[in-house]
Amino acid sequence: MDRGAMQQVCENNAAVNIDSMGHFQCTVCPSYTDLHGTRESFSLRAAYRGHFSTTKADQLLLALNGCEPHASGFGGSILLTRDGTVWKKSGYFKGDNVSNCLPFKSHDGLDRLACLAGDSFAGNSVYWMSAASYRNNSLHEERLLDASSNLTYGSPVARYCYDQHIGTFEKLPSGIGYRVVVTQTRGLAPSDGKSCGETEIPMEPPQTVNLNFQFDGEHFTLAPESKDSLQRVQNFVPHQ
């Protein structure tokens, strides 16, 4: 990752800066963002080098934070393609959160990502795992796993206050898939229906659930031995 690549992101060399963490950022929102022209940081969070939409040129996929409202994910990703000695923007994907991803090479030679992301709103938090590819300079996303929490003043669900979060996220030793660990706990809320977080709730002992996902060169799928574990995650809170 170099300043020339970041200049393509910021559209103006004068807008390229380095933040206190030593990361590149734009000091003015670029024209393709919802908050274009605003003096707000558009900060680089992660960079992946490979072949995402073409095998004929080097590419960079960059995760940016800022310059988008909450409804648009507070940021997005940008795909840059090497053209001779310069980088050119091949696509911008608003709301695409790729700041925490594992890359895998597919049969067609393109790189695909397995990603972990999350969001919070109205006292609730959600976490998810998804697969992303960028064939034909378009984002193709598939949700693989969901977890959630209502402990921060969310409303009880079927009288439960609960927390699920995804901790470990790593490639399998074989390199043909990845492993995640979900930790979950829950407790019954008072019958008066107060929001979670307003009162102390006795919680059950935490459960740790291991899940393996396989990559066959085209798709990510849950490993057969993890099917029962997935049910433990999906059915942790009773359906209303």
E strands, 74-176, where?
75-83, 86-94, 101-105, 111-121, 124-133, 140-149, 160-171
- Which pLDDT score, from 0 to 100, does residue 72 have? 85
- Which pLDDT score, from 0 to 100, does residue 4 have? 86
Q: How far is CA 42 from the centre of its chain?
A: 17
- For the chain, 240 residues long, give each residue's pLDDT as a single digit of tens: 788 899 999 998 878 988 878 889 999 999 999 999 999 999 999 999 999 999 999 999 999 999 999 988 899 999 999 999 999 999 999 999 999 999 999 999 999 999 999 998 878 899 999 999 999 999 999 999 999 999 888 889 989 999 999 989 999 999 999 999 999 999 998 887 678 988 888 999 999 999 999 999 999 999 999 999 999 999 998 875
